[in-house]
Amino acid sequence: MDCIVCQSEIIMQITWANLFQLSLPRPICDECAAGLKLLGGKQCKKCSRPSIEKICSDCLWWEQQEEMNTIEFNHSIFSYNEKMKAIVATWKYRGDYVLGEIFRDYVSKAFRERFSFLGKESLAVPIPLSGERILERGFNQALQLCEFLPIEHAGILSRIHGEKQSKKTRHERITSENPFFIKQPINKAVVLVDDIYTTGTTLRHAAQLLKQHGCPTVYAFTLIRG
């Protein structure tokens, strides 16, 4: 098979597991996989930002914003390096749904390791796109990530169309109005799922709405820490 990032041929090492089809080959070559930088080392325990402090200055500020201090913590998997930016540009902005498959094993493994304490009773909720944005991109990348998780997921949030987050300044993101509305009340712990954590405003807006409608606890799980 070929790598779905660079299209080079993947030379499989034959083992007993793949010989009897107990495991499927990764859809990404070793060289491309090596370009994806997993987060590690010292991090903020609230947002996964690389930091020598247990809680970074951004999260300390959020904790002082009573109405927006709505997330227990965010866990991210990857750093937003140049290789990842190129992959995201193709996956997210050019509608290459298949490319998201390279993240399946990473997402499943990271979720099981970090959120095992929640059990099966929690619910994954993807950060939604507006209808206009879905038509533009063809799919919701957060929903695709939810499909890699070992727990139930449900699209109980909807989104009002507005300017792309990537076009906004940091100040514009932090001071933006809540763009979400909710379809039904929720009385179980929720893990919000999105592709990139930048300022955390989007996730906190979604968590705020969930808590206003019965959700006791909200966590966030994101593919990338921007």
Closest CA to 55 of 43, 44, 69, 63: 44
Q: Which two tokens stand for residue 81?
A: 């390096």
Round to whole Å and give the CA distance between 97 and 193: 17
Place of tokens 């799922």: 193
**Residue 174: its pLDDT value, please?**
81
CB atoms within 10 A of CB 60: 12
Residue ranges covered by each domain of the chain: 1-34, 37-225
Residues 61-95 as b/e (b if ≥16 CB within 10 A, e otherwise) read: ebeeeeebebbebbbbbbbbeebbeebbeebbeee
User: Which class in CATH covers the domain with range 37-225?
Assistant: alpha beta
Tens digit of pLDDT at every position of the chain (226 positions): 899 999 998 876 666 555 555 445 679 999 999 999 999 999 999 999 999 999 999 999 999 999 999 999 999 999 999 999 999 999 998 999 999 999 999 999 999 999 999 988 899 999 999 999 999 999 999 999 999 999 999 999 999 987 666 667 877 878 789 999 999 999 999 999 999 999 999 999 999 999 999 999 999 999 999 9
Cβ atoms of 124 and 152 closer than 8 Å: yes
Taken as a whole, the chain contains a residue count of 226
Which three-class secondary structure state does DSSP give residue 39? coil
pLDDT in tens, 160-186: 987 666 667 877 878 789 999 999 999
Q: Give the helix, strand, coil percentages of the chain, each rounded to 5.
A: 40, 15, 45
Reported pTM: 0.89
